[in-house]
Structure 1
Amino acid sequence: MFDGFQLDRVDVGEVTLRVRYGGGGKPVVLLHGHPRTHTTRHRVAPQLSDSFFVVCPDLRGYGQSTLPPDAPEHAQSSKRAMA
């Protein structure tokens, strides 16, 4: 689905983000919508990777990314927390 891409985990403070990345050139970050995961970009990411270094993260609380341990239950859908 993401041929030529790497899948990794990145620790950011109290959360761990799952990130898929690949390609070369200037970076471009593809964010998913609510309530999705990075896999929604499986068609466009490989096409962009010919010209760009493409980064597709799972936002915190989505997919295999975590939430901070003290996050309230509604934090997953908080736009302020995602930003």
Structure 2
Amino acid sequence: MHPDLVVPAPKVVLEADSWTFHATRGAHARDCARYNLLVLHGWRVLRFTWEQVRLERTYVRWTLAQLVGVGQDEVDGGLAATA
């Protein structure tokens, strides 16, 4: 299992779903099983489209900040530390 981005301290996984890798029936089934497994192991999963990750970064950072209850600047610093 290889999530797109893991933020270990608050146990958050961010996934960027593109049509290239997630558009088939089989890919969708694998994605659902993987997300369920992550949740069962205590992870919170945020899913975004590939376009949101590339073109709407403020929205992605805002969503993560809302989930973990911190300011957006703290999210930016945490993401830089994991990059």
Tell me the TM-score normalised to structure 1 length: 0.33
Q: Which has a greater percent of helix?
A: 2
Greater strand proportion: 1
TM-score normalised by structure 2 residue count: 0.33
